[in-house]
Amino acid sequence: MAAGWRSAELLDIPVRPVKGQILRLRGDVSSLLTRTVRGLSHGVSVYLVPRASGELVVGATVEERGADTTVTAGAVRELLSAALDLVPGASELELHEASAGVAARDTRQCAAAGRAPGEADVWVATGHYRNGILSRP
Ligand SMILES: Cc1cc2nc3c(=O)[nH]c(=O)nc-3n(C[C@H](O)[C@H](O)[C@H](O)COP(=O)(O)OP(=O)(O)OC[C@H]3O[C@@H](n4cnc5c(N)ncnc54)[C@H](O)[C@@H]3O)c2cc1C
């Protein structure tokens, strides 16, 4: 069972949806950044990830808005403002994409991975929250 936040609809596990918005900028990224930068600007935490493809990923908001995937003007402004404070040269990049996703957060603050409670033949992997890709191995 690896249905993300929807796993909670199928099994009795305390996983809930948490909204996140993220931006992708495009252009001569390698002349600005060659490694990931994380920082704070006016209390907003942001990370910038240069990709070999020429994209700069700017993330991410954390919003307790359930499974909503609306891209909002406020989040785009917040992320851009913080990103440009950290790397002013990014203002010349193209704003290629703004998107919203939903991460699964386990209320026990750890991933739900292992045999499903009360289900002898069901294994579950969800609740990885913001580290689902990082924790995959
Ligand atoms: C904005 C944002 C930024 C993030 N950044 C990072 C990052 O930098 N690094 C990192 O490690 N993680 C990051 N994450 C977290 C990461 O995306 C998730 O932890 C990861 O996607 C979880 O993978 P998953 O396969 O468990 O669930 P999901 O990716 O949610 O996949 C679940 C799948 O199950 C399907 N499904 C649901 N219900 C059913 C059903 N009933 N039947 C069949 N299929 C079903 C869904 O359609 C979906 O395809 C980010 C998340 C967000 C929202």
List the residue whose alpha carbon is closest to atom 21 of ligand 1.
132
- DSSP-assigned letters across all residues of 25-61: EESSGGGT-SS-EEEEETTEEEEEEE-TTSEEEEE--
Does residue 92 contact residue 24 with C-beta atoms inside 8 Å? no
> What is residue 135's predicted lDDT score, i.e. its pLDDT?
78
To test the pocket of ligand 1, the residue of 130, 134, 136 to mutate (highest count of ligand atoms within 8 Å of its CB) is 130
94 DSSP assignment = E
To test the pocket of ligand 1, the residue of 128, 129, 136 to mutate (highest count of ligand atoms within 8 Å of its CB) is 128
> What is residue 137's predicted lDDT score, i.e. its pLDDT?
65
Residue type, position 129, single letter: Y
Cα dihedral sign for 64, 103, 100, 32?
positive
Does residue 24 contact residue 100 with C-beta atoms inside 8 Å? no
CATH number of 4-135: 3.30.9.10
Which ligand 1 atom sits nearest the alpha carbon of residue 19? 53
> What is residue 110's predicted lDDT score, i.e. its pLDDT?
79
> What is residue 88's predicted lDDT score, i.e. its pLDDT?
97
pTM for this entry? 0.92
List the chain pLDDT tens, one digit each, 137 residues: 999 999 999 988 899 999 999 999 999 999 999 999 999 999 999 999 999 999 999 999 999 999 999 999 999 999 999 999 999 999 999 999 999 999 999 988 777 888 888 888 999 999 999 888 887 66
Q: What is the CA radius of gyration of the chain?
A: 17
Tokens of 67: 């499974």
Domain map (residue ranges) of the chain? 4-135
Q: How many Å lie between the centroid of ligand 1 and the Cα of residue 79?
A: 21
